[in-house]
Amino acid sequence: MKSGNRHPETAAVHGASDLEKKNGPVATPIYQTSTFEVTDNDEQERVTSTDRYYTRWGNPTISVAEQTVAALEGTDAARVFASGMGAITTTILALLKSGDHIVAQRDLYGGVTKFLSQWLPKMGIETTLVDTTEYEQHARAIRPNTKMFYVESPTNPALRVVDFQQVTALAQQCGLISMIDSTFGTPINQGPAEYGFDVVMHSGTKYLAGHADLTCGAVCGRQELIEQIHDTRTTLGNCMDPHAAWLLIRGLKTLAVRVARQNENALRVAGFLEQHAKVRRVYYPFLKSHPQHAVARRQMSGGGGMVTFEVDGTGEDARRVSEALRLFTLATSLGGVESLVSIPVLTSHAMISADLREKMGVTEQMVRLSVGIENAGDLVADLERALEAVGAGRTVAVK
């Protein structure tokens, strides 16, 4: 149960509203304005810290989006951003300083890995990468100047599942800020804040918005942390646009029903792939074959809409399969109502080195599916037909 004794389905629709009857619009208005009029300079000073001063500071439409996300995650407050990477980078820059150190899992979205390894060192902030589910490594990596644990669960693209209890217990014991990218998990399938995570982040472009029509990020957490993040967001200027915030609010209203359908479809797709002769391995948290299946079942109410598999062949075979699909659109990103397919080494993890991809277990044979809300039988049939492409076009060497 989330804050206010409302279930996620209700929080997604009503956010933090009081539900009292009032003579007002049912749909949230779009405050498509950059600034707000005041009657005098005394009022100008009073509104500076509100959402009716200047839209880089805040905006009433943006506030509704933030209150809804916070209600979904059961946290004190939230802030939204122009992108998921904007949310991540702003949060880390807000909470850390030169000389600080981060312990982060090795399995991360490629853009985050690049930020941690190439950008933060320029600012005097170091990161140690550890194996995602080896918690003794997490403990050994802690230094006197360590300030943050950064994790992602389920991970992109191998869908490894982090044990929330172990990570937050260690963070609390050592006085560290714990931050999680919960994009793949969604607020419907898991609640990291309930396990003690200080900061919960989402690339709202994906499941929260759900329709592949905007980019945004969201960060939720304790009030004092969110205030620090807000101050940095105001300075860096990567706030969300009011119209995009309105689209996010609209998308959030159907989050629960979309995710429920995607959970069902993805489990069926994963089960089909696991039995297919041309599939080497399937990654899906709610399959019994998943190495963290027990952890996933304990802390997740659904396995999510992402399925990753490796073809029993070459990287070229994986490309052929992705290009042969018709209902799964070949495109990057994920989480929308339509099913997508991508090759991680060419998209989400193209920006990191082959050596690091190998350590992460990201292979050329990997195909990542974002399962939508279409008929599951149609999706399975599309995959069955596309997998016929494995091995097609190979030449046999003549001795």
pLDDT tens-digit map of 317-367: 999 999 999 999 999 999 999 999 999 988 888 777 888 788 878 899 999
What's the confidence (pLDDT) of residue 394?
Answer: 58
Give percent above pLDDT 70 in the chain. Answer: 95
Scan for tokens 């030169």, then name that residue.
98
Pairing of strands 77-81, 217-221: antiparallel
Residue 343 to residue 356: CA distance in whole angstroms: 16
Whether 191 has a pLDDT exceeding 90, the answer reads: yes
Whether 266 has a pLDDT exceeding 60, the answer reads: yes
- Taking residue 266's Cβ as centre, other Cβ atoms within 10 Å add up to 26
Scan for tokens 């915030």, then name that residue.
245
Q: Can you tell me the mean pLDDT for 111-119?
A: 94
What single string gives the DSSP state of each residue in 296-329?
HHHH-SS--SEEEEEESS-HHHHHHHHHH-SSSE
pLDDT band at 3 (very low <50, low <70, confident <90, very high): very low
What's the confidence (pLDDT) of residue 396?
Answer: 42
Whether 121 has a pLDDT exceeding 60, the answer reads: yes
Tell me the residue type at 337.
V
The pair of structure tokens assigned to 344 is: 């991680």
Closest C-alpha to 362, from 138, 128, 160, 119: 160
Residue 327 to residue 372: CA distance in whole angstroms: 10
- Contacts by residues 111-116 (CB-CB < 8 Å, ≥ 24 positions apart): 111/85, 111/348, 111/351, 112/85, 112/88, 112/150, 112/152, 112/181, 113/351, 113/352, 113/356, 114/351, 114/352, 115/85, 115/88, 115/89, 116/150
The pair of structure tokens assigned to 35 is: 């600034």
Pairing of strands 199-202, 177-181: parallel
Whether 80 has a pLDDT exceeding 70, the answer reads: yes
Q: Can you tell me the mean pLDDT for 148-156?
A: 97
Q: Can you tell me the mean pLDDT for 362-375?
A: 95
- Among 5-19, 137-151, 278-292, 319-333, the range scoring the smallest mean pLDDT is 5-19
Dihedral angle computed from the Cα positions of residues 270, 163, 133 and 127, in that order, rounded to the nearest 10 degrees: 120
3-state helix, strand, coil in the chain (%, to 5): 45, 15, 40
Active site positions, annotated: 56, 109, 181, 206
What single string gives the DSSP state of each residue in 22-42?
-SS-SSPP----SB---SSHH
What's the confidence (pLDDT) of residue 399?
Answer: 40
pLDDT band at 5 (very low <50, low <70, confident <90, very high): confident
Alpha-carbon dihedral sign for residues 245, 247, 252, 253: positive
pLDDT band at 12 (very low <50, low <70, confident <90, very high): confident
In the chain, where are the structural domains located? 3-253, 256-389
Whether 395 has a pLDDT exceeding 60, the answer reads: no
What's the confidence (pLDDT) of residue 306?
Answer: 97
What's the confidence (pLDDT) of residue 20?
Answer: 61
What's the confidence (pLDDT) of residue 21?
Answer: 61
Give yes or no for a contact between 360 and 107, defined as CB atoms under 8 angstroms apart: yes
What's the mean pLDDT when you consider all of the chain? 93
Asked if the domains 3-253 and 256-389 are classified in one and the same CATH topology, the answer is no
What's the confidence (pLDDT) of residue 6?
Answer: 81
CATH number of 256-389: 3.90.1150.10
Residue 108 to residue 150: CA distance in whole angstroms: 9
What's the confidence (pLDDT) of residue 8?
Answer: 86
- Among 230-234, 272-276, 279-283, 389-393, the range scoring the smallest mean pLDDT is 389-393
What's the confidence (pLDDT) of residue 328?
Answer: 97
Q: Which 3 state secondary structure label does DSSP give 201?
A: strand
The CATH class of the 3-253 domain is alpha beta
What's the confidence (pLDDT) of residue 19?
Answer: 53
